[in-house]
Structure 1
């Protein structure tokens, strides 16, 4: 009998994501790059935007490697890339250099490491606990900015932004490698305690879609668009909050808002996963999409530390919930057999949102001096996502692979 070590693996996955999630403190680095190297707001968002895109894109090959070789080797490789990428980033003085070494290399390392953590943990749990398990794991990545933002600001104040890249990379890349050694997956035939017995005449593997079969369903594209539309607002605020605080409230210590947002982002991942286990994935998504839409409509009116704090708390909670719900939704619809690759493909929607949200917002504020139109656009697509969630149904033709 296989011993269930699901909670041990989950804790290791949370710690790994805590270590690798330092890129979510980018708004602190961006503010320093604008001040020290004279970049525009749009330019300062480019490395972060590319990193988010690479994080999403590399989850696909990372997922394939996970499905073939398991989590330890893949996550260790991700940690090595984080160290190399941050070390080379510390030598850069131009936007192309930051884009290549932070955006491409660090983003790839983060994507590879993050991509193995969710399926490593979820495979140990029955369907009724998948939302909670995935929410806990991804909470680590969201919570990282809570310590990474003030820590990065402290080091930047002491040694400058470029040396900060080197220090953060060495320390936290090494921690990723360490925590990777505690990840594991159960044998293929393992059935987690609490898994419902299949109905009479139902093949136990009939929900396991291959990546190509999954992409051939309308549900995949519906989920993809919902994920993209839902994530744009959160990623926009995460990437710009230090600048938003300066423009809307003349606050020069926006890094504190980064930390607050990170706490609620992380909490939202657990709350969203847990709530979706209780009231359903679709209902939870509708609730969070509409909550975020209202928040975006109000965001231009947040002109004090108090109101901005309320706004970023709601942003973090609603955005974070998506990272807990969508992995479980993907496994519910398409099975666990190809979980690494399948969720990697769904997660490319996050990469698209990472390009659209921060870059579009940066361009809008460079042109208009305000984020108002960016908030309004985000609210509109969130309402569209809520309507799509209302009509999302299980795939009609379940395929055996």
Structure 2
């Protein structure tokens, strides 16, 4: 058992690398300028729509993907997802045959929106639930390690994308699709479920209770599920709004002569913040429990958004303040799957995790397109930051309510005992 416990870290580490490939979507706005030039587009929202389609497609298929994982294990959904992503990027490469946007748009939205979203759903339904099964005693830390990969994805792929873009945006789609396919497929075939003896391990923090195994129907009837769903949607808005519009936000506020340096620097450094936030907040959850960790995350996000609204034109402040927002958003991808595992058990974790994460797709639609729409309507992203503040405050209220319900139920159990 001791040796197996020592070797189990290989699975979160493989999940980290797989997630880093998926995290390439956080650098998606790098494609906007060359596509605007190729198709003579003056607005951002038609291009940002593909990012939103990714999140919608992901949210639509994450529950079926979770069911596939629960029934067939980790290998089939991961390898299948890699094939789907590759086929989508092939369609993106094929866009070069259409000179006008009206004809190319359909391929763009299917190849770089719908299919990547489907592929990411098939793949992402696996690494975090699998890590939580291998580490029932350190769920937050293990899930945070996997989520670290998703966060650091932009740092990994940004220099690669920037290099390939010198050869043209359409060839870049072909090259990136090939990289995603090879790396994810090779790692996916080595994933496996833990032996049954790992189920006996329990959280090291006595404040975090081990839950019974809920079915999806039982979870849907639980107040905690609804609080998690809405608070995840509201809290994700801020991060996805900034991430989905990162390049045009910088183009709006930073002088043109500094953009070539600021854009890749911002994307790389904030991706490290995104990644580091996942381990930090996951570890914090293990120490203090999910509700308190979420409350702290949302409060810091509100302050950072207000500061960013005044400072995003300052090239020296935009990166550290943006980094806080990225770190807190990254933390959500450790906090929420860990909370699902702790509240509803591990047996049907894939599908319950998927049901909660449909809210991420809603947030992606509201955040990426909403932020771009506000910019196109008002000429600035300033107002978009305050919309994000409102949603973050709503999320804070919900998790505060969840913590009160949890304390009340715990007190009732103590009285009955």
State the TM-score, normalizing by the size of structure 1.
0.92
Secondary structure of the equivalent of 1:191? helix
Query: What stretches of structure 1 of length at least 5 have no aligned partner?
Result: 199-203
Distance 1:321 1:205 in 2: 22
Distance 1:52 1:34 in 2: 22
Matches within 5 A, 1:8-19: 8-19=10-21
Change in Cα spacing, 1:383 to 1:206, as seen in structure 2 (3 Å) is closer
CA contact (8 A) 1:78 1:108 kept: yes
Distance 1:57 1:192 in 2: 34
Cα deviation digits, residues 237-292 of structure 1 (max 9, x gap): 11111111110123423232111111100100110100111122111111111111
**Match of residue 173, structure 1, among 172, 181, 185:** 181
Cα deviation digits, residues 299-324 of structure 1 (max 9, x gap): 22221211111121111111111111
Matches within 5 A, 1:1-400: 3-4=4-5, 5-39=7-41, 40-92=43-95, 93=98, 94-127=104-137, 129-156=138-165, 158-188=166-196, 190-194=198-202, 207-250=212-255, 251-253=258-260, 254-302=263-311, 303-392=313-402, 393-394=405-406
Secondary structure of the equivalent of 1:391? helix
Secondary structure of the equivalent of 2:305? helix
Say which is worse superposed, 295-304 or 369-378, in terms of deviation.
295-304
Q: CA deviation at 1:56?
A: 2.8
Say which is worse superposed, 60-69 or 47-56, in terms of deviation.
47-56
Secondary structure of the equivalent of 1:301? helix
Q: CA deviation at 1:195?
A: 5.3
CA contact (8 A) 1:260 1:312 kept: no
CA contact (8 A) 1:83 1:174 kept: no
Cα deviation digits, residues 103-130 of structure 1 (max 9, x gap): 1111111121111111111101124x10
CA contact (8 A) 2:133 2:194 kept: yes
Change in Cα spacing, 1:283 to 1:9, as seen in structure 2 (3 Å) is same
Secondary structure of the equivalent of 2:125? helix
Q: CA deviation at 1:190?
A: 4.0
Cα deviation digits, residues 26-51 of structure 1 (max 9, x gap): 11012322232233210010111101
Distance 1:100 1:325 in 2: 31
Distance 1:370 1:296 in 2: 15
For these two proteins, the number of residue pairs brought into alignment is 390
Distance 1:164 1:307 in 2: 31
CA contact (8 A) 2:308 2:322 kept: no
Q: CA deviation at 1:170?
A: 0.5
Say which is worse superposed, 33-42 or 184-193, in terms of deviation.
184-193
State the TM-score, normalizing by the size of structure 2.
0.89
Say which is worse superposed, 379-388 or 14-23, in terms of deviation.
14-23
Change in Cα spacing, 1:206 to 1:237, as seen in structure 2 (3 Å) is closer
Cα deviation digits, residues 143-200 of structure 1 (max 9, x gap): 01012122212211x211111011000112110000102211124564254557x9xx
**Whose helix fraction is larger, Structure 1's or Structure 2's?**
2
CA contact (8 A) 2:202 2:210 kept: no
- Structure 1 vs Structure 2 CA RMSD: 2.1
Cα deviation digits, residues 83-103 of structure 1 (max 9, x gap): 111111111252222111111
